């Protein structure tokens, strides 16, 4: 009886009056109706709003990389190409990683564990790179760790098959695949193409689960075919590297031009860098000295005053000039030859490189006439290859010249040029008097030149330059087996802080072959050779000979001389050679 009484008491306590129950039920029904109306309103009237809110949380616009164009040599050999690589990134708000995974991840990334931990703990960030451009094998191993919040994106890394061999022409890109030096920089707009974009849906772990639409398709970059011949470039690079080492030079440069078209077939410098190894890239090594640095060219400029003197009728190749006693006074300055060479013809002045003879020719000309030949062959202005940072050089206005300056400029002092400008200037002797534009791009059609001197004058000077490479000249070491060679040596005291250094020289040689029908021009420059020899005929001419020999063989150029034509006998000792 007592238990039954207790049960009735509990039931009585939890029972509810009928009126109150109806009110509560009504409120529930009303609330449900409100929710249904609200849902219908949002689904019908506010559908766009909901779509926007959903997309804001899960929809993303991502960039679509454009394939960067290849760089090739004139024969289609690849000099620069982009290959796909993975970049690993994290969403710090989604990351879930234990100590073991962190240690393994850091090891695979070759990064300090504390640095990785610092990056993935950026709580205010949704995206942070852990490492960019890792090899696919490493990316696969990181993916296998299955760490939430770690994801990958595909990027492209530039690869340079020739390494340092073509570095100063091709250049390199940064980690974002944008050109930083060389052709990569100068032709970046052409090579890079245009980045595209697409809209995607990502899940809460940052993974792309659906492509929604392409907003803008990427436009691939265009391939660029350079004028370089990889085979000739290899020879030039090898021989210059060897010469810099043998002569303990501070630096060196070489340029190889097609003598008829002005196309750059080879160009290299030392010091050099490897574009595949970022650690080798320094400001000193990336300088393309053949295009961006200038120097006083010395006697390699002597053919130009002679050419204009012949052209204007002041002299002819047989005109005799007295150079005794080996000195000539201009104002307070004394111009010297290394020895008394006596009476010389104009042709012999070039052959033995007499400074006194050259000064007498130059001073017989109006200063404007001498200035015009230098201006007409491109000195004092960029060479025009399109390479970033081309040097202008220095050619002062003729109305500011003093007599001694007109005298010294006849043998390459008081004027500065780049090696490319110098090589280009010699095209007037290989094309019958026309100055050809120089280019780093392969040419599909013949290029027009600008006439500077007559064909007859060009031929006369060319014969003199051929004499300079014979035994009685200053450059017998420039001779090439089976070919007639023409060229000129240069040895100039280096200008440092406005003064000429006594024991620091720029040694150079510019020449072409075959002399009967020129195919190639090669200009060589060594900066501060310090192993004992410093004359251009002893230091730069042998480099010319080796590169020219290999290049003519590669191009299968017919011989224009006997295969045993080389004669190394010198009528004067190396110490007596002019520069």
List of E strands, 294-442? 320-322, 327-330, 333-336, 343-345, 434-435
- How far is residue 50 from each of residues 38, 40, 43, 56, 61, measured CA to CA in Å? 13, 12, 8, 10, 18
**Three-state DSSP class for 193?**
coil
416 among known catalytic residues:
no
Residue 410: how many CB atoms within 10 A of its CB?
Answer: 28
Catalytic residue among 82, 87, 227, 299: 299
253 backbone dihedrals φ, ψ, rounded to 5°: -145, 155
List of E strands, 434-574? 434-435, 450-451, 486-496, 499-513, 520-527
Is the separation of the CB atoms in 298 and 536 below 8 Å? yes
The residue assigned the tokens 């160009």 is: 267
- How far is residue 412 from each of residues 22, 302, 332, measured CA to CA in Å? 113, 7, 19
Query: CB burial class (10 A; 0-12, 13-18, 19+) of residue 116?
Result: buried
Is the separation of the CB atoms in 432 and 455 below 8 Å? yes
Using CA atoms, how far apart are residues 522 and 267, in angstroms rounded to an integer?
10
The residue assigned the tokens 């307070």 is: 332
Is the separation of the CB atoms in 181 and 124 below 8 Å? no
Tokens of 153: 């994106």
User: Which are the catalytic amino acids?
Assistant: 299
């Amino acid at each position: 009886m007592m238990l039954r009484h207790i049960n009735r008491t509990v039931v009585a306590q939890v029972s509810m009056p009928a009126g109150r129950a109806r009110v509560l039920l009504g409120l529930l029904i009303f609330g449900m109706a409100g929710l249904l109306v609200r849902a219908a309103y949002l689904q019908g009237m506010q559908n766009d709003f909901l779509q926007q809110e959903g997309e804001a949380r899960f929809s993303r616009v991502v960039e679509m990389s454009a394939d960067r164009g290849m760089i090739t040599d004139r024969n289609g050999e690849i000099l620069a190409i982009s290959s796909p690589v993975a970049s690993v990134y994290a969403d710090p708000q989604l990351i879930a990683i234990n100590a073991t995974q962190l240690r393994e991840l850091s090891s695979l990334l070759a990064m300090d564990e504390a640095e990785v931990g610092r990056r993935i703990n950026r709580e205010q960030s949704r995206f942070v790179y852990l490492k960019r451009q890792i090899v696919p094998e490493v990316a696969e191993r990181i993916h296998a760790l299955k760490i939430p919040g770690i994801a990958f994106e595909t990027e492209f890394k530039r690869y340079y098959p020739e390494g340092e061999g073509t570095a100063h022409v091709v250049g390199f890109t940064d980690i974002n695949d944008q050109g930083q030096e060389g052709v990569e920089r100068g032709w970046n707009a052409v090579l890079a193409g245009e980045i595209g974009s697409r809209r995607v849906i990502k899940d809460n772990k940052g993974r792309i689960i659906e492509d929604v639409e392409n907003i803008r398709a990427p436009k691939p970059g265009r391939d660029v075919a350079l004028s370089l011949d990889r085979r000739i470039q290899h020879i030039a690079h090898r021989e210059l590297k060897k010469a810099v080492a043998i002569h303990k030079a501070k630096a060196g440069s070489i340029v190889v031009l097609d003598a008829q078209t002005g196309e750059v077939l080879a160009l290299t410098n030392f010091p050099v860098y490897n574009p595949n190894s970022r650690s080798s890239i320094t400001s000193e090594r990336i300088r393309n000295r053949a295009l961006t640095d200038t120097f006083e060219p010395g006697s390699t400029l002597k053919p130009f005053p002679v050419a204009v003197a012949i052209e204007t009728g002041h002299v002819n190749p047989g005109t005799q000039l007295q150079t005794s006693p080996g000195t000539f006074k201009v104002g307070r300055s004394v111009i010297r030859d290394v020895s008394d060479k006596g009476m010389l013809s104009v042709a012999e002045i070039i052959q033995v490189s007499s400074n006194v003879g050259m000064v007498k020719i130059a001073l017989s000309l109006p200063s404007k006439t001498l200035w015009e030949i230098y201006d007409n062959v491109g000195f004092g202005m960029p060479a025009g290859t399109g390479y970033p940072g081309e040097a202008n050089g220095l050619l002062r206005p003729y109305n500011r010249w003093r007599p001694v300056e007109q005298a010294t400029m006849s043998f390459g002092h008081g004027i500065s040029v780049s090696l490319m400008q110098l090589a280009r200037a010699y095209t007037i002797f290989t094309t019958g008097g026309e100055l050809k534009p120089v280019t780093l791009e392969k040419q599909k059609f013949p290029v027009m030149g600008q006439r500077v001197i007559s064909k007859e004058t060009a031929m006369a000077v060319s014969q003199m330059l051929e004499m300079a490479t014979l035994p009685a000249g200053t450059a017998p070491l420039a001779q090439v087996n089976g070919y007639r060679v023409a060229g000129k040596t240069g040895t100039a005291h280096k200008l440092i802080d406005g003064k000429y250094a006594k024991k620091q020289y720029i040694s150079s040689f510019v020449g072409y072959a075959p002399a009967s029908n020129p195919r190639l021009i090669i200009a060589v420059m060594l900066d501060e050779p310090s192993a004992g020899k410093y004359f251009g005929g002893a230091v730069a001419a042998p480099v010319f000979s080796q590169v020219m020999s290999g290049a003519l063989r590669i191009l299968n150029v017919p011989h224009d001389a006997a295969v045993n034509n080389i004669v190394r006998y010198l009528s004067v000792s190396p110490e007596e050679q002019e520069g």
